[in-house]
Chain A
Amino acid sequence: MQSRDGEAVLSVKNLTKRFGSKLVLDNISLTIEKGKTTVVIGPSGCGKTVLIKHLIVLLRPNSGEVYFKDRRIDNLREDELNGIRTHYGFLFQGGALFDSLSVAENIIFPIRQHYTISSWKEVEELVKAKLAMVGLDGYQNYYPANLSGGQRKRVALARAIAMNPEIILYDEPTTGLDPIRSDVINELILKLQRELKVTTIVVTHDMTSAYKIANRIIMLHNGKIAADGDADHIRNHPHPVVQQFINGQVGDDDLAVLRMSGTISQAQFLPRDFE
């Protein structure tokens, strides 16, 4: 298992989250160490996004606690949280770029909110540098509507790292990117961790990427932590659910459903159906 001697930056204790009657996170406890990369995996809809939104208190738990450097943050007021959130970078699963602002303005946004800008030249340099990191230098004046899905994701990534945060939460940074670009993002994540000692939490479905960047992998399943350990621990995990997930195998239940749904013609529309 993972050594627990590092300094804890983030931790959650007995976190439970419900939406209506649906239990999404069930009594989860977790400690994130400073300077490490933690990857969260798990089937679609299992609550990965919900979990990392709790780490920055974009969502509040029904019960349980969230700590940032030993300070309890889940019960703070929004204006108190704003100061704490400047230590974070958050990449949203859908990018969440401001579509009324250009790419450059999107990246300048967090800087502008927290500093009075004295030299626009420096800011321009910074935008250029951050965009270059994600391979999009030259796109400063584009609007999000004119970018492809993968490009938007990368601009959002550039925005998340614009303030050189201590903690970066990435929600599926490589989804929708081609394999080479995905690997560039992996390298970027590694580089930020190595050079700036950022604490990184990555939600991903991409096992190649997970193995490459992770110091620790956590698998969520049915609202609980099903597996927790380094890459080897996960690869050799005895639990069948974990094995199925990391090898991308369909479970027997899912297969049964597919078999039951009959012949192709029932599941597909044919041109003659519209005549």
Chain B
Amino acid sequence: MLAALGARAMVDVTNAGRFGRFVWGAIVASIRSSTRPGTYPLVWTQMLIIGVRSVPVIMITGAFVGMSLAVQAYDQLAGIGLEEHLGVLINISVVKELGPVLAAVMLAGRVGGALTAELGTMNVTEQIDAVRSMGTDPVRYLVAPRVLACLLLTPFLIIYADLMGVVGGAVVSFSQLGINSTAYWSFSASGVELWDVAVGVVKGFFFGASIAVISCYKGFTCREGAHGVGLACTEAFVLSFISILALDFALAVIFKGIYNTFWPFKSLIA
């Protein structure tokens, strides 16, 4: 029993070590690649695959988030006669939290799953070994372009999600809830700062990089067979999801600290 636990712990520690080494390798390779124009075409291809085809789902995600927020928050605010502040609430929530996080989760499912499946299949069909056998570092050739592409694209996709969230929230507020649009926008404009939008977008770099690194790692270490690839995809998604939420929390704390040292607290409803 104890021996089994010990063995299990050993495996976990070994895996954590392997993951750490992989992350480090991926970071180094990505930085190196970003200075070598030779790898730009690879990054570009990945950006097309990852980015362009994700735009519609990301926009739909954003729009629904904004719309639901409007419906949910309206009653409480109307109860205290502050329904014209609805815009602040919706837009702050969308650009700071829900837009980035939900867009990232969407990408973890859409892009992360595809990355893991692709690299996992390459792994079990020995294509990754083939890359190694020809004297090329598979992390540099396969992982770095994907990490760079995710890193660069996620912030843009988050902007799309934000935009659609703002539009969705506004549409529901005006057409369904009958809020005066001038008041809605003017409260929003005074409540939502560039800082808030920037925080959300900057999170995107971290989310994108972590999705790509985790998915690639799961693909690289995937076990034999169709079952192995399926399992790796599931694990990659779960791990990406958790890391998105954890990063989101950590970044919220960090950004709040930064903000508070430069600007005093400001109430949104005053």
Contacts and interface: CB of A to CB of B under 8 A. Distances in A.
Interface of A: 53, 56, 58, 78-79, 81-86, 88, 90, 92, 94, 96-100, 109-110, 113-114, 116, 163
A60 to B, nearest CB: 12
Interface string B97-121: 0000000000000000000001000
A100 B137 CA distance: 18
Contacts of A84: 135
A34 B164 CA distance: 67
B270 interface: no
A99 B135 contact: no
A78 B137 CA distance: 8
A85 B134 contact: yes
B134 A110 contact: yes
Contacts, number: 56
Contact of B127 (A83, A98, A116, A163): A98
A141 B117 CA distance: 25
Interface string B121-160: 0100111011011111100010000000000000000000
B125 A85 contact: no
A58 B135 contact: no
Contact of A82 (B125, B127, B136): B136
Contacts of A78: 132, 137
Interface of B: 38, 118, 122, 125-127, 129-130, 132-137, 141
13 contacts: A78-B137, A83-B135, A85-B135, A86-B134, A86-B135, A88-B133, A90-B130, A92-B133, A94-B126, A97-B127, A109-B134, A113-B136, A114-B135
A81 B133 CA distance: 9
A162 to B, nearest CB: 9
B129 A113 contact: no
Contact of B134 (A53, A94, A113): A113
A94 B125 contact: yes
A116 B125 CA distance: 28
Nearest to B45: A100
Among A53, A98, A113: residue with most chain B CB under 10 A: A113
Contact of A96 (B126, B137, B141): B126
Nearest to B133: A90
A78 B130 CA distance: 14
A69 to B, nearest CB: 16
Contacts of A81: 135
B127 A96 contact: yes
Nearest to A171: B126
Contacts of A83: 135
Contacts of B133: 56, 58, 85, 88, 90, 92
Given A94-B125, A116-B38, 13 more contacts: A58-B133, A78-B137, A82-B132, A82-B137, A84-B135, A88-B135, A92-B133, A96-B129, A97-B127, A99-B125, A109-B134, A113-B135, A113-B141
